[in-house]
């Protein structure tokens, strides 16, 4: 199982732009490298990342072999309502990981 680190504010004012940073531990093997035995190492990458805010997708990315191990993604969204942000990573070999964080939105 992968380990994800998500950094975002726990609360924000309504209409405030917040930064969200997400990092997940994953080797991101390209499928182009040769192992010690001289054979190609099997491809194993995270292909998709998405963030949903109260069920509505606010960010999505497709990842490819050129992304480094332990991919780090930073993006911004507007705090509209209190609720849950759900982060999902999907990849090769059935890899799937989901994390949830709560955001409390206060009146401006």
Calpha distance 101→52 (Å, rounded)? 11
- Report the SS3 class of residue 48: strand
pLDDT at 67: 87
- What token pair was written down for 105? 């939105």
- Is the pTM higher than 0.85? The answer reads yes
- Per-residue pLDDT, 1: 67
CATH of domain 4-106: 2.60.40.10
Lowest mean pLDDT across 4-8, 44-48, 66-70, 76-80: 66-70
CA-closest candidate to residue 93, choices 15, 24, 27: 27
Q: Where are the domains of the chain?
A: 4-106
Q: Which residues contact 5 (CB under 8 A, 6 or more apart)?
A: 22, 23, 24
Interval 30-50: pLDDT, tens: 999 999 999 999 999 999 999
pLDDT digits (tens, 9 = 90+) for 64-75: 988 899 999 999
pLDDT the model gives residue 108: 81
């Amino acid at each position: 199982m992968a380990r994800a680190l998500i950094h975002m504010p726990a609360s924000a004012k309504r209409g405030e732009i917040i930064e969200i940073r997400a990092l997940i531990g994953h080797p991101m093997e390209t499928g182009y490298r040769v192992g010690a035995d001289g054979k190609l190492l099997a491809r194993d990458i995270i292909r998709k990342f998405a963030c949903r805010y109260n069920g509505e997708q606010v960010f999505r990315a497709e990842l490819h072999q050129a992304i480094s191990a332990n991919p780090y993604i930073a993006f911004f969204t507007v705090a509209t309502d209190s609720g849950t942000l759900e982060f999902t990573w999907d990849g090769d070999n059935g890899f799937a990981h989901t994390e949830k964080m709560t955001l409390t939105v206060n009146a401006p």
